[in-house]
Structure 1
Amino acid sequence: MFRSCVTVFLLLLIHCCFAQQPQSSKEVTNFRALVLFENKGHHVPFTDTARIWLNRLAKEKHIALDYITTTNAINENFLKKYQLLIQLDYVPYGWSEKAQHAFIKYMEQGWGGWIGLHHASLVGDFDGYKMWPWYYDFMGGIRFKNYIPEFATATVHIEEASHPVMKGLPRSFTIEKEEWYIYDASPRPKVNVLATVDESTYAPDVPVKMGDHPVIWTNRNVKAKNVYIFMGHSPQLFLDKNFVTLFENAIMWASHK
């Protein structure tokens, strides 16, 4: 009950902070973005809050947003309409073969850009679905191994401050109450790491660690601009100016060829 009340309060606060006057229907749309989001389970408070924030940003930046909660509609013609695909805590398994093939072409041919958050790195065999091999390679050859269910606060260090996604961010910043996933290997050999989490700063200290621990990266082996951002569990992230800056930077960068 307490958690539900906190979530409702955050949703109302963020809505009030970001409320704006309606746009004129004659205003120009800069680009179209598709948001594939998780609408069940314990990530719903985050995705609910994210959509409020995204709608505010869409008004401000003249972005046309569409939302879907399954991959059923995804095919080549469908994806070609969008300059950006945001995989908002949506898992990389259970996709239809048609949706997988369309996504691969979207990424390899650079039809648009991609941003994946948090649950988008849940790579492996889950819920009776086999791992998606192409996506495994795209994410840097990693499989989900474990996580911190009781959450931990930690410091994130930026490695490539000159990247547009990192514009306006301090070289190090703190993320509160995240469930930090670990993988069976670091993706570093196969991706361009932009930031890592410093496991020595976990508070409380926990044994769920992997050493070299990237949390933001891009994959230059596909034509589409892309960035994965691990953070994405708590709705409180949208009250964190560093996370909000990071997410907005990613959207504006990945959406433009």
Structure 2
Amino acid sequence: MHVFLRRLTALLMMLFAYTATCSHAQESKPKFHVLAFYSETVEHDHVDFAHQAIEFFSKAAQRDHFEFATTTNWDDLTAANLANYQLVVWLDDFPHTTQQRTAFEQYMEHGGGWLGFHIAAYNDAGTRWPWFVRFLGGGVFYGNNWPPLPAMLTVDDRHHPVTHNLPQSFSAPANEWYIWRPSPRENKDVKVLVTLSPSNYPIGMKDVLRGGDVPVVWTNTHYRMLYVNMGHGNKIFTSDIQNRLMEDAMLWVGAGRER
């Protein structure tokens, strides 16, 4: 009887050790892989944001168990390279060559993920990238406030995974707020998650936004994508509330959750 109990105990201990090892291996495996693109030669305030974003998301990657890599080489936007990542992030710039744009289009059309900040969505008459305008929901850059200022934001949908940790409204750190024409909200496929509150108007000194619909965070539901207008200057990561939005945005797009 004692021999049987010793053998049973040894077997249970081995089973426990095996289970613990498997559990640890599962936890240590990255949930998804991110490649963040940025440039060092763009507007200084955008570079400041990119550097702070890299630090923020590198720490988030450790907390949330995803892999976060960065590059300043936009020629890394190739089909072969993007196949290694579930999420592409544009921090302070965007593709400038036909080859880069084509690779990104194919990546997104085949289920890739994209998270873009601030200047990443900039487009005007000289951009000549109609696919990207449709991808964003049809809006073209129309104007912005200047100088960067803090603003009150309204959360449109507090049940969405990107915004479920946010209050109904919150004060966002100083940023250059973009307005788009037409508003992406007019596109039936766009889901707006956060909006510039009308209580801010007029906002700006040199360049003033006096009114209108200004979506700040939205997704085109045809794609696994999210645009976040924050991204100008070195104050963006000074709000714990907004930081929660940033981290949840990365997790939602990266994990490919229900849109």
Aligned-pair CA distance for 1:152: 2.3
The equivalent of 1:250 in structure 2 is 249
- What is the aligned counterpart of 1:139 among 136, 140, 152? 136
Aligned-pair CA distance for 1:160: 1.2
The equivalent of 2:5 in structure 1 is none
Corresponding position: 1:165 with 2:162: yes
> Which 4+ stretches in 1 moved above 3 angstroms?
202-207
The equivalent of 1:64 in structure 2 is 67
Aligned-pair CA distance for 1:254: 0.6
Structure 2 Cα separation of the partners of residues 229 and 203 of structure 1: 22
Would the aligned equivalents of 2:161 and 2:248 in 1 still touch at CA under 8 Å?
Answer: yes
Gaps of 5+ in 1: 1-23
Percent identical among aligned pairs is: 32
The amino acid of 2:138's aligned partner reads: G
Structure 2 Cα separation of the partners of residues 97 and 119 of structure 1: 19
Aligned-pair CA distance for 1:169: 0.4
The amino acid of 1:149's aligned partner reads: W
Would the aligned equivalents of 1:154 and 1:202 in 2 still touch at CA under 8 Å?
Answer: no
Aligned-pair CA distance for 1:125: 4.0
Structure 2 Cα separation of the partners of residues 254 and 62 of structure 1: 14
The amino acid of 1:214's aligned partner reads: P
Would the aligned equivalents of 2:152 and 2:197 in 1 still touch at CA under 8 Å?
Answer: yes
Q: Provide the secondary structure at the position in 2 that maps to 1:164.
A: coil
Structure 1 pair 39–125 and aligned structure 2 pair: CA distance change class (3 A)? farther
1:105-120 → structure 2 map (5 Å cutoff) = 105-110=106-111, 112-120=112-120
For the pair shown, the structure with the greater C-alpha radius of gyration is 2
Structure 1 pair 106–230 and aligned structure 2 pair: CA distance change class (3 A)? same
The equivalent of 2:230 in structure 1 is 231
Corresponding position: 1:155 with 2:152: yes
Structure 2 Cα separation of the partners of residues 45 and 101 of structure 1: 28
The amino acid of 2:193's aligned partner reads: L
Aligned-pair CA distance for 1:132: 1.0
1:1-257 → structure 2 map (5 Å cutoff) = 27-40=28-41, 41-42=43-44, 43-91=46-94, 93-94=95-96, 96-110=97-111, 112-125=112-125, 130-190=127-187, 191-202=190-201, 207-222=208-223, 225-257=224-256
Alpha-carbon displacement from aligned partner over 1:149-192 (angstroms, at most 9, x marks no partner): 21222111011111100021001011132111122321112211
Paired residue total: 225
Structure 1 pair 154–203 and aligned structure 2 pair: CA distance change class (3 A)? farther
Would the aligned equivalents of 2:174 and 2:236 in 1 still touch at CA under 8 Å?
Answer: no
